[in-house]
Amino acid sequence: MKKIGVAVLICSLALGLAGCGESEVMVLTPYGDAVIRDEGSSSASTQTQAKQTEKEETVVQKETEGKADAGGSSNLIQVGFAQVGSESDWRLAQTASMKETFTEANGYKLDFVDCNNDQKTQLDALEAFVENGVEYIILDPIIESGYEDALQKAKDAGIPVIVVDRNISAPEELYTCWVGSDFEKEGVDAAKWLDQYLEANNRAEEDINIVTIQGTVGASAQIGRSKGFNSLLSSHSNWNMLDEQSGDFTEDGGYAVMTAFLNQYEDIDVVVCQNDNEAYGAITAIQEKGLTCGPDGDIIMISFDATNGGFQKMIAGEINVDVECNPQEGPLVAELIQKLEAGQTVDKIQYVEEGVFPAETAADIIDSRAY
């Protein structure tokens, strides 16, 4: 942060004053007081006065800096975070990671806005960040498109924008970097796990009917996971994607879509839920239909995020595998900001580390999980 020093101007006015000797001059002290000094005073006296003046200037500067420090914000890096919303356990974990990282104790002042899955609210938040003069903007875009104007305003104001989690379709020169997950790889990893699972259970040659409960259509997680998983369909002629419908990453959405699938399709072998909350709703719908899911169930359940709730469902035998989407992005974003503060350049794409967790491993590692 920039400290505001006090420039103290000492004005010496050589004035011929009534009642004063010709060798006397009026001097303004750092506090604005007028004093009379004998122009013919000794050099030692002049040096003493200079030291006193320097001392007074130092006192004024320290008092001013002390007041700034007392305000609690002069040395803090101002960060604005426009969050998607609070629609899932994963989203809450991501928000917690940011809030725990960007604290005053760590040298930051965070302006956090929950945009409630409304893009207009998010665009308004970005505009407010620029108007308020934050030093960095963190953006988790609700959908990939529609942010060019807001990003241009930030660029014109000299404010670096770090995009997190979901991807954005804006020109790369409008934002500093992107931090998050390789969603397409997550989809590929889920399909590879299914391939290995079917092989291990002597079902590799069976006709496998699959349905997908997608996330919010247009969100990069939905796009990437769908593309990644579906890219392996062509190499498995016996895998049939019956349907794909959006559950908006919510438990209610997962329940509604799964209920519709069960009413429409008599034989479903695999359900792919693009986040844990959708899986919770889908599990309820399956059980209400008198069916089961999980390692010993009627239906194979694949989920994404690998939250604590997802692990609990695996331990309960209701989810077969959970592909991780790591929400702990705060520390990496802070590391990037510190590099930018130091004048360094950063790579445009920054991936967080992630894994694939089958149900049989859940009980052994759940206590080591941070979310």
Write out pLDDT tens, residues 219-235.
999 999 999 999 999 89
CB 115 within 8 A of CB 142: yes
Distances (CA, A) of 334 to 1, 96, 111, 348, 370: 15, 14, 15, 15, 18
- pLDDT(213) > 80: yes
Q: How confident is the model at residue 269 (pLDDT cuts 50, 70, 90)?
A: very high
- pLDDT(35) > 50: no
- pLDDT(58) > 90: no
CB 278 within 8 A of CB 247: yes
Residue 5: CB atoms within 10 A of its CB come to 11
Structure token pair of residue 280: 């919770």
Q: How confident is the model at residue 44 (pLDDT cuts 50, 70, 90)?
A: very low
Q: Report the C-alpha gap between 21 and 16 in whole angstroms.
A: 8
- pLDDT(37) > 50: no
pLDDT of residue 31: 31
Q: How confident is the model at residue 52 (pLDDT cuts 50, 70, 90)?
A: very low
Residue 137: CA count within 13 A, CB half-sphere:
31
Structure token pair of residue 96: 């917690």
pLDDT of residue 1: 39
> Pairing between strand 177-180 and 349-351?
parallel
Which long-range contacts link 333-338 to residues 24+ away (Cβ below 8 Å)? 333/98, 333/101, 333/138, 333/162, 333/164, 333/179, 334/101, 334/102, 334/106, 334/108, 336/162, 336/176, 336/177, 336/179, 337/77, 337/79, 337/136, 337/162
pLDDT of residue 116: 96
- pLDDT(15) > 50: no
Q: Report the C-alpha gap between 90 and 322 in whole angstroms.
A: 13
SS3 339: helix
- pLDDT(337) > 70: yes
Q: Report the C-alpha gap between 12 and 37 in whole angstroms.
A: 10
Q: How confident is the model at residue 69 (pLDDT cuts 50, 70, 90)?
A: very low
pLDDT of residue 73: 54
Provide the terminal-to-terminal Cα distance of the chain, rounded to the nearest Å: 33
Who wins on pLDDT, 315 or 17?
315
Alpha carbon 106 to chain centroid, angstroms: 16
- What mean pLDDT is predicted for residues 272-279? 98
Mean pLDDT of the chain: 85
CA angle in degrees (0–180, nearest 5) for 139-144-147 = 60
The DSSP string of 89-128 is: HHHHHHHHHHHHHS-TTTTEEEEEEE-TT-HHHHHHHHHH
pLDDT of residue 180: 95
Structure token pair of residue 7: 């420039």
- The candidate with the shortest Cα–Cα distance to 285, out of 211, 364, 208, is 211
The DSSP string of 194-245 is: HHHHHHHTT-TTS-EEEEEEE-STT-HHHHHHHHHHHTTGGG-TTEEEEEEE
Which residues are paired to 12 by β-bridges? 27
pLDDT of residue 16: 37
Helices (H), ranges, the chain: 43-70, 89-101, 119-132, 148-156, 183-200, 220-230, 251-264, 276-288, 308-315, 330-341, 359-365
Share of the chain above pLDDT 90, in %: 78
Structure token pair of residue 273: 């839920």
- What mean pLDDT is predicted for residues 280-287? 98
- pLDDT(203) > 80: yes
pLDDT in tens, 235-255: 999 999 999 999 999 999 999
Residue 59: CB atoms within 10 A of its CB come to 13
- pLDDT(96) > 90: yes
- pLDDT(214) > 80: yes
pLDDT of residue 13: 32
Share of the chain above pLDDT 70, in %: 80
φ and ψ at residue 21, rounded to 5 degrees: -70, 160
pLDDT of residue 370: 84
φ and ψ at residue 153, rounded to 5 degrees: -65, -40
Distances (CA, A) of 256 to 248, 285, 300: 11, 8, 19
pLDDT of residue 30: 32
- pLDDT(36) > 60: no
- pLDDT(348) > 70: yes
